[in-house]
Chains A and B, each alone.
Chain A
Amino acid sequence: MNTRQQSKLTYSWYGKPLSSDRKLRTSQYKGILITSENTKTETCIQLGDFILVEGVNADQPYVAQLMDLYEDGAQHKHAVVQWFCRLEEIPQNKRKLLKREISAQEVFFDQVLGYDTDIAAETIIKSIMVLPLHLGEELPIITLNKEQTFYVKQSWDGKCFKVLSPDTFSKLKEANKKRGVITSSSKAFIPSDILTPVKKETESVLRSATKPKNVDMEVESKHSASKSSLAKERHSQRVAKTDIKTPTARKKLELNSPTRSKGRLLGCEVLGLLDDDCDAIAPIKPSATKRKVKFTSDILGSPPKIPCSNDKSKSTSETAEHHQRFSDTIRLSPYTKVKEFSEKDKNLHEKDDILFSVGYQKPSSQSPVLTPRSRRTCAQKTSALIAEQISLLKSHGKLAAEEDFLSSSDSSYSSSGEEEEDDDMPCTPEKKTKSSRIFSTPKSSRKSAVHTPAKTLKKTPLQGTPRRPRNATPEIPKRIQAAQEPASVLEEARLRLHVSAIPESLPCREEEFQDIYNFVESKLIDGTGGCMYISGVPGTGKTATVHEVIRCLQQAAENDELPPFQFVEINGMKLTDPHQAYVQILDFLTGQKVTAAHAAVLLAKLFSTPGPKRKTTVLVVDELDLLWTRKQNVMYNLFDWPTQKHSKLIILAIANTMDLPERIMMNRVASRLGLTRMSFQPYTYKQLQQIVSSRLKGVKAFEEDAVQLVSRKVAALSGDARRCLDICRRATEICEFSKQKRTLEVVRMAHVTEAIDEMFSSPYVNAIRNASLHEQIFLKAILAEFRRAGVEEATVQQIYHHHVALCRMEGLQSPTVSEIMAICSRLGACRLLLVEASNKYLHMRVRLNLGQDDVMYALREE
């Protein structure tokens, strides 16, 4: 949390201990005060309040209800909470159970056992609202604040969703009510602290009426204060696109400060209204007018505040004026001022609008001492930019506009609803009327309408880089025709024999399966971490077995026999660089995309610190040997994490070589890997036979002997199951091909033999036999030269002499040297010969790439 890092927060107890337990040396409190040093604000969180708790992912803090607060003997502050879980925390496969769309604001009453409900009080971020709703109820559209409010409709106990039981429902309601009371009552006694800054602020604003630059600074400092929150919000917008909100609304609650950058608020409000009108959406219009009415009534209803607000609005208007470089100061009552504004509203509005956009777009680049002048140039620049982007992102416009409307309505609503904010009230309606005036002149509305999409659009490119759509969904176009289903027995068999076809069970790997399963299961139950190293030659079912284990475990976890766990898989071959492993793991765990170095830091933090609601992670590292780096830090880290106390990480490492730990790993890495090893032996022919026949169960396509032949052949060579299946597949093809002539439905020995021959035959002999005459003579010359010199290497010059002699014997015209060179390079390209680089010409050395006997055999036939 950026904001948290920037502003140091101190946690202190609120009030006296309610009760204390002597034995346990704990004392309970009814509330906690969070004081931020930067903003000089205090927040009081009471028992029963709803809070956000720092989680794994900074953008998705956990939601919880505070149940208890206590301090233990070691002066550590603790909190006991009732968790709520977000949709993101629910496993993908379970989300289907909901059978309805879930908004990002909806949370579920968490009844999953096994989550630690006792957390450190320091992880509490702030208080929020959680409103219970009945299942059928729609989410209320006009809400206080999107970020701050969540809704509960159902509870989640790890397996299924349930409607909230009446008593929890009422309890939650109760808590909310209580909160309302508390906030209103707490206001009564907190203020001494808060009110003073309010006064100070108003004073300073008043003062700044004469010194506009000062105000600028103030406004800008607010900008910078909310910068980080802005950035964060943008991030969260990217993650969950639905909840876009204006920074002002959020800032209101977060900083709890009465003054805010008027320019921004103004722009925000203006925007909202602009959208209303240009979009001409029916339901929005009445709400806008309703709002206006409400504000006016508010103003009327709160007469004591008016004088103050008058001052304030005056000063704001003045700052606005100064932005416009209007020299005359206007000291009028707010009602007359409205008229004043109508004269220059168009200009002003535009300016402010852009100003706002500047503040938004370049919060970091803007220095607080910017003079209005420079601001304007800046604004012009951005407006030029905006114009460019309009065409590009037209489609986004509508969406963003609507969202903006929502957010602006939020902010206005909150300002009318919350009494704490009432100092600001007058200034908001002031702006409102001002902006509404704009639309009375059609010309200006047209103009602003042009600007509005630009502004709203501008926000969207900020979320994702426009150059490359970050969240492009990778997809291969769908085929038009459905894939044809296998028609004959042979086709069916071939489909089943394809390596990708997933068999129901893995024959011949029962033992290994059981071992791995037991290992992971025991670690899962204990909640500890561990490593296992699995080795074996390619095609012996390592990955398949591990996947099968994970599948079974996941099933068991679903049936509640095991604690739930996360499954992450990385493959060394699918990484471009060993360090990318971090990025992938982090992406799987939290969905964040960061650089490798940053990911490593985050992961290390994640695995080394205890966190609430941490699930066990099962990490499968395939092709481990490719994660080797010179310093081996990737492997070191991977195997170091499980040894950490809180990591709850289980690693299954897969590689080909049995002695990999000893061979390439440093001692410290190998020792962390531990001694849990398993090696997959190559399949014997019986096992291969069993695999094939189990896949072919129920399909009569192969003769028994044919299968046996294949498996014996493969077992003798490599024991690679993939090879075995491929041969069988090829045999079915050959069978099908020859079927046209004779009607024959099963794969016989002959077909299998043909397939085997095709796969294992040496290509060289065939290649030599089909070579041209001079190429053959050249090979003969090589043999002769080798025999003469007794060395398996000769230069072209020497061979050439033999070649010429042979040609003379055969009565052929002897070739020129150029032709010989051409022959030599042709044979070299086929890799029948190994030749040097050709710039040595006659002195190029030549070697045979196959045995002399093979060449003789191939040549003798002629």
Chain B
Amino acid sequence: QHSHLLELLKRTTVHGESNSALIIGPRGSGKTAVLNKVLKDLREMSQVKENLLENPFLSGLLQTNDKVALKEITRQLQLENVVGDKVFGSFAENLAFLLEALRRGNRTSSCPILFVLDEFDLFVHHKNQTLLYNLFDISQSAQTPVTVIGLTCRQDILELLEKRVKSRFSHRQIYLMNSFDFKEYIKIFKKQLSLPAEFPNESFAQKWNNNVQQLSEDKTVQDVLQKLFHHTKDLRSLHWLLMLAVSTVTVHHPLLTAADLQEASRQHSTDSKANIVHGLSVLEICLIIAMKHLNEVYDGEPFNFQMVYNEFQKFIQRKAHSMYNFEKPVVMKAFEHLLQLELVQPLERPSVRAQREYLLMKLLLDSSQIMEALQVYPNCPTDVKQWAASSLSWL
């Protein structure tokens, strides 16, 4: 892919040929990295360096409409209507101006321009896709040589293009995939973690690198990595994991150990909602258990506070030895706290008319999550645990 892209851009610069291409790949697959590498290589080539390649870089997240994008292009190209980093004139004027500017040039005499559109899918949603149409149209006509490169993670990007725009696009797609297997993943892990040769303290670098080598052969580390690898091949998450691990390194603890990595992995993969449950009071946990039972009885149908309260009352009256019989307002307060934590979610927006007790709610936790959280919950009363395990046990 790298060579393909390099070849493409080289032709644009050297021959003045216009092109358009899309780089498609999932997040973290190195689209931008490839492009940057290619640009760097290009600049190093003597042939290309002289006819300086200008490249306006647009991001769909920043240039949210064509107007802003056009201004940005003119600014980055430093055309003549730019006064002190600001572009004046109306949208229409700017468009006409830019088109005129690009029309002036021809294949042999003017400087080739490389347009990079990051988050290409967001440009597609602009009105009429005017910008894309014009860019592709220029790349298909004998005007200033232009190469348009889009970066996106959407596989269905071509279907989003309007038919006219699609026809003008050259259908040159470069797919980037994380197609490596686990062995390569380990290699990447090693490479990322090892210190470069130019590190000032040589002996430490030596020691560190040896340690990394050992780590990569360690069974537990491999397990950790394997788990992460199974979850995602995105290299960014590997970076995050290593970041967590490396941040534990101190003067007294100079080398990374397998335990560090395991700890990091544990942090990396914890369930956020279940964590919240750990911090709840017993009453709130009881309410959640009541909701879980309701979900089981009614098979996921929404419930309201009154139902939850009734369920809770049943439990208190029949079974509970360790629980107070709380007042209804107190229970209501606990329920609202759960609402704020977004462990439960109302189905519709709370209106003035409906009483709060009868608002329909949904639980945002899975029963397995609740059981797991209960296992690690400190000082949980046994009867609550029993009640959680089986709703019918008190009968």
Contact = CB atoms under 8 A, between A and B. Distances in A.
Interface of A: 467-469, 472-484, 486, 491, 494-495, 498-502, 537-539, 573-577, 580, 583-584, 623, 626, 656, 720, 722-723, 726-727, 729-730, 733, 737, 758-759, 763-764, 766-767, 770-775, 797, 800, 804, 812-813, 815-819, 822-823, 826, 829-832, 840-843, 849
B230 A812 contact: yes
Contacts of A483: 14-16, 107-109, 145
Nearest to A580: B92
B190 interface: no
B100 interface: yes
A826 B177 contact: no
Given A484-B15, A495-B15, A817-B273, A476 B102 contact: yes
B77 to A, nearest CB: 7
A481 B269 CA distance: 55
Nearest to A474: B101
8 contacts: A476-B104, A478-B110, A479-B112, A763-B173, A816-B271, A826-B234, A829-B154, A831-B155
Contacts of B81: 468-469, 472, 474
Interface of B: 7, 14-18, 24, 26-27, 47, 50-52, 54, 66-67, 77, 79-81, 83, 88-89, 91-92, 95-102, 104-105, 107-113, 128, 130, 133-134, 137, 140-145, 153-156, 163-164, 166-168, 170-173, 175, 177-179, 227, 229-234, 269-274, 300, 342, 345, 362, 364-366, 368-369
B80 A474 contact: yes
Contacts of B272: 818
Contacts of B128: 573, 626
A766 B15 contact: no
Contact of B232 (A468, A480, A823): A823
A469 B111 CA distance: 23
Given A500-B18, A774-B230, 7 more contacts: A500-B142, A538-B163, A726-B172, A771-B26, A816-B274, A829-B27, A843-B345
B35 to A, nearest CB: 19
Given A484-B14, A498-B18, A816-B269, A797 B26 contact: no
A815 B368 contact: no
B142 A479 contact: no
A472 B93 CA distance: 12
Contact of A474 (B24, B54, B79): B79
B26 A830 contact: yes
Contacts of A468: 81, 83, 88-89
A726 to B, nearest CB: 5
A576 to B, nearest CB: 5
Contact of A826 (B17, B26, B66, B137): B26
A501 B232 contact: no
Contact of B15 (A486, A771, A775): A486
Give 5 nearest A-B pairs by CB, closest first: A474-B101, A538-B167, A472-B80, A483-B16, A770-B177
Most chain A CB within a 10 A radius of its CB, from B52, B144, B231, B368: B231
Contacts of B172: 726, 730, 759
B52 A480 contact: yes
Contacts of A817: 271, 273-274, 366, 369
A630 to B, nearest CB: 15
B153 A829 contact: yes
Nearest to B160: A831
A813 B227 contact: yes
A758 B158 CA distance: 14
A722 B66 CA distance: 26
B106 to A, nearest CB: 9
A840 B366 CA distance: 13
Given A499-B140, A816-B269, A819-B269, A830 B101 contact: no
Contact of A467 (B18, B67, B83, B270): B83
Contacts of B7: 733, 737
B181 to A, nearest CB: 11
A726 B140 CA distance: 10
Contact of A800 (B100, B137, B145, B366): B366
Contact of A577 (B92, B137, B345): B92
A134 B18 CA distance: 50
B105 to A, nearest CB: 5
Contact of B270 (A771, A816, A842, A843): A816
Most chain A CB within a 10 A radius of its CB, from B15, B97, B100, B173: B15
A843 B364 contact: yes
Contact of A818 (B100, B109, B273): B273
Given A467-B88, A774-B230, A475 B26 contact: no
A478 B88 contact: no
B140 A500 contact: yes
B232 A826 contact: yes
B348 to A, nearest CB: 13
Nearest to A572: B128
Nearest to A486: B15
Contact of B17 (A498, A800, A842): A498
Given A472-B81, A483-B15, A829-B154, A576 B364 contact: no
Nearest to A815: B231
Given A468-B89, A772-B233, A843-B364, A482 B108 contact: yes
Most chain B CB within a 10 A radius of its CB, from A733, A767, A831: A831
Contacts of B143: 500
A479 B111 contact: yes
B80 A538 contact: no
A771 B95 contact: no
A841 B271 CA distance: 13
Contacts of A764: 155
A656 B164 contact: yes
Contact of A726 (B27, B107, B171): B171
B324 to A, nearest CB: 31
A766 B175 contact: yes
